Structure 1
Amino acid sequence: MSIQNFLNSKLSVQFSILIGKYLPQEWGHGFSRQLGTLISSFRNWDINRHIRLNQFVVQGEQLTNDQLVRSAKNVLTHAGRCYYDLHHYINRPEALNDLVPLSAEMREFIKLSKQKQGYMVVAPHLSNFDLVVSRLIRAGFEGRVLSHPNPGSGYQLQNEIRKSYGLELTPLGDQGLEAATIDYLKNGGVVATGVDRPLPSRKKRHFVNFFGRPSPLPLGYITMALAADVPIVVVTAYMLPDGRYGFRHSGPIPLKKYANKLDNILLNAEMVLKKIEAYIRLTPEQWLMFYPVWPDLLEKGL
């Protein structure tokens, strides 16, 4: 089993839950920082190679090897902090309200979710998105989230946690459910999904430009939004300098219509990804993507 598979396993998630529940904040943050530092010290592990590759691209392809190693450490320690905070605060509503204050942008987004207009909401893996979503739901957000069709044991447990705070999950891959999701969008529903995890089986002709390089990213959210004729809204979480979490949203992004079917998908996806690029650039070391988004670059030996 690779370290990445272990970190995604049920045992690893259960351990993370225990740490979050029972360690006080100072100890929990210290432990997660030390664990992230330890994992980052094994430079040849796939997870570190993938993070360095991704950080190399999003930080302008200018970082030296030593800078990339430090960047990977920062990503992993931030991830540990996020996992601790998620499990420590998820069932502490009053403390959660302080950690994730209800901002004007959050209120605007919740208001959007209650309109009769449908929206396809997309998000990158930035910072503590699960915790911010739980705050949005408690404040009145209404919508569904598309989930991985064949989740491993760790992801299954994470999905159970998401359901526990009121998140409605719809698995991808079932044509009947996809048709129902399109109808839901047409009737004013809000559907959310992640869009920055690469698909290894993606054909090269379906790659999209992301940070100026071709990448095998998902495209299903574009086809569903086009079929339902609804705009896209990009949302992100981020950590503030004081350790609290914030939220950003793009507002509605209308999709364009092209004569060519493939252009219709790829060019609209790239338009949306430009907004995601801008958000990632604001806090690049809070981008918790542990898969190689540009697999062709693995040969560079970063």
Structure 2
Amino acid sequence: MKFSLQNLSNSRFAVNFTLWLGRTFPRKVSYQVGNFFAKIYSKRKNSAMVRSVRANQWVIRGEQSSSEELDQAVLDVFQHAGRCFADLYHAMHSPEKILSMFTPTDACLALIARSQKNENGAFLAAPHISNFDLALLALAYRGLQAQVLTYGQPTGGYEIQNDLRAATGMDIIPAREETHRNAIEHMRNGGMVITAVDRPIRHKAHTLTFFGHPSPLPTGHIRMALAAEVPVIPVAAQMSSDGRYHIEVGEPITMIPNDNPDEAIRINGEAVLKALEQLICVNPEQWLMYYPVWPTLMADREI
């Protein structure tokens, strides 16, 4: 396997090491270790991971940032990621610790109540913002009922993370054609499905406009929501200034059918992405996306 920061950070070794670190040392020590590695990673400007984060941050910050500002933005992203991992793995095996780090908003509590009634199905679409794993665990401990669709081909590190999520009782399902059919039926019966929707797909032919540029983003959530005739609800984790996490819940987006299936995907997909743009811009440094969301921009210019 070709070495890359993505492969390393998603590896079984990296996840196990971070789990050990979180269990063994106080959180403040874990923060310091995270900041140390963030500084090392952020200086590897020729790595695919750093180049991707740099380009992603350039776009969401208005395409006006200087080179020095982007250097700081990349460092901020990695430092926030380190903070999130430290918080998550320090509290992973303690529901009390998880809940103590999470602030439930009224909208969040309403979402949990809706999921328990099994009357109005919905698809929850999330970007990779902040500590979504910790927030998801807190939601599960508070009673959220939902299927969680995960990356269809998990690596060793992702498999460990999925096992930890499943230990809370959450229904963790790798995304593939069969599970998509099950998710559609689940939503038709009043259930909820949740997945992240901002990780680009390599070699994807069709694109969606995101922050004003074409991006090869997934559309499976739109296809499933259209088939189940349920709305898509944008949700995102955020870290507040006090270091606690909460979930932002957007307004439900009704899926609009169209005689042209491709046009239906585009119109509804871009409506959801427009809502996610607003959530991402609240704290740009908390958008933990390490893959090139706009690969053509990276190919056309040096950022």
Q: Does the pair score TM above 0.5?
A: yes
Amino acid at match of 2:251: G
1:89 aligned partner: 91
Equivalent position of 1:215 in the other structure: 215
| Paired residue type of 1:166 | G
Note the 1:45-56 alignment, pairs <5 A.
Answer: 45-56=47-58
Is residue 108–residue 247 contact of structure 2 (8 Å, CA) maintained in 1? yes
Which amino acid in 2 is paired with 1:230?
V
Q: CA deviation at 1:179?
A: 1.7
Letter in structure 2 aligned against 1:301: E
1:58 is aligned to 60
Alignment of 1:218-229 (within 5 A): 218-229=218-229
Question: TM-score, structure 1 length as denominator?
Answer: 0.96
Is 1:265 paired with 2:265?
yes
Tell me the equivalent position of 2:77.
75
In angstroms, what is the RMSD of aligned CA positions? 1.1
| Long gaps (5+) in structure 1 | none
What does residue 149 of structure 2 align with?
A: 146
For 2:97 and 2:195, how far apart are their aligned partners in 1? 27
Task: Note the C-alpha offset of 1:110.
Answer: 0.4
Q: Which residue does the alignment assign to 1:158?
A: 161
1:21-69 superposed Cα distances (whole Å, 9 cap, x missing partner) = 1110211111111111111122211111100000000000010111111
Letter in 2 for 1:84: A
Partner deviation per Cα, 1:261-294 (whole Å, 9 max, x = no partner): 1110111000010000000010111000000000
Task: State whether structure 2 residue 125 is matched by structure 1 residue 122.
Answer: yes
> Secondary structure of 2:194's match?
strand
The answer for the alignment partner of 2:302 in structure 1 is: 301
SS of alignment partner, residue 71 of structure 1: helix
Letter paired with 1:143: A
Report what 2:110 is aligned to: 108
Paired residues of 2:101 and 2:244 also in contact (CA < 8 A): yes
CA distance in 2, matches of 1:170, 1:282: 30
Amino acid at match of 2:40: L
Flag structure 2 segments of 5+ consecutive residues without an equivalent.
none
TM-score of the pair, normalised by structure 2: 0.96
Fraction of identical pairs, as percent = 37
Within the alignment, does 1:231 sit opposite 2:231 as a pair?
yes
Per-residue CA distance 1:151-208 (angstroms, 9 max, x = gap): 11111111111111222112212x33222221111001101111000001200xx200
Please give the alpha-carbon distance, in whole angstroms, between the structure 2 residues aligned to 1:289 and 1:8: 13
